[in-house]
Amino acid sequence: MNKYNLIIFFSLLLALLIVPQVHAQDVKVSMYILNLGKFDVATGSFTADFYLNFQCEENCSPESFEFMNGRATSVDKIIDTPKEKFYRIQATLNSPVDLRKFPFDSQDMMIIIEDKRNTIDVINYVTNDKESGIDPSIIFTGWELDKWESDAVEHTYDVYDEKYSQYRFHIKIEKIFMNSFIKTFLPILFIILIVLFTFVLDPDKITTRLTMTTAALTASVMFHISISNQIPPVGYMTMADQFMVITYGIILATIVLNVFLLELTERKHADKVEKFHRKTEFSVFIIVPLIYIIWFLIIFFLL
């Protein structure tokens, strides 16, 4: 019996020595972007035209890759050697959208690839930034191409108890500041300026002041609806929403103040009306801009 056990032991040992062990093979991945299509803020979708290159130190087969955040519409293999695979690909992709700083938002357009069959124990992606980049001739309408970066991460499927290597190419884009400011904030600033100038009118023009202020409130609401229609419904307040809430508060405070002055006028407290008018006539031109400046500083530097 011991003799048979010894034979089995040596047979298993010999099999382990003869059968090659499977080990993770590093595959260098590089990506060069040739063209980018329109970025849809509502869905986060975009199109991309790019080169994708796989390089190995020994024979490898990384052809079974797929896009985790979209689908390729066209795949052309340009180089096909045992140690290198080179493709030109056109794909429709999508990325998560963060609109908290709308209209000054920045987005991260991602291209994510992963092998369909081979786990990280077989194929391990390694970034090759020396041969990656974005073509300088790309013009992305409405956005500025900020920078790009790539990384390789481990993607775990807990339900299957499997791990795959994942390559991600990030394209950072941001809104053009001056264009966003002029289209979103400048009209409201002019509306607020009109409201502030109503404080210059004498107290006997209270009804005129109220008419102008309520008209400004109506215009602000309509403009807010207009800019809100540019983005999808989200579960948080955007920067534009916060700006409009502050604007509503200022206009509402102006209406309350004018009603208070109107009530004092009806009760024949002319001296109190005049005193209150003199205090607010020009001070609002300092207080209101300070409110907006403090809010801008909090948004850009503290959040």
Cis geometry, peptide bond prior to residue 103 (ω within 30 degrees of 0): yes
Residue 167's pLDDT is what? 97
For the segment 234-284, what is each residue's pLDDT rounded down to a tens digit?
889 999 999 999 999 999 999 999 999 888 888 888 888 888 888 888 899
Q: 236: how many CB neighbours lie within 10 A of its CB? A: 8
Residue with tokens 């609806």: 225
Calpha distance 110→153 (Å, rounded): 14
For the segment 123-181, what is each residue's pLDDT rounded down to a tens digit?
999 999 999 999 999 988 888 888 999 999 999 999 999 999 999 999 999 998 888 88
- CATH architecture of the domain 185-302 equals Up-down Bundle (1.20)
Q: Say if residue 55 is exposed, middle or buried (CB neighbours under 10 Å; 0-12, 13-18, 19+).
A: buried
Of 267, 298, 103, 287, which is closest to residue 195 (Cα–Cα)? Answer: 287
Calpha distance 41→232 (Å, rounded): 8
Domain 21-177 sits in CATH at: 2.70.170.10
Would you place residue 18 in the very low, low, confident or very high pLDDT band (cuts 50, 70, 90)? very low
Residue 84's pLDDT is what? 95
Give this prediction's pTM: 0.80
Would you place residue 11 in the very low, low, confident or very high pLDDT band (cuts 50, 70, 90)? low
110, amino acid identity = M
Domain boundaries defined on the chain: 21-177, 185-302
Calpha distance 80→121 (Å, rounded): 24
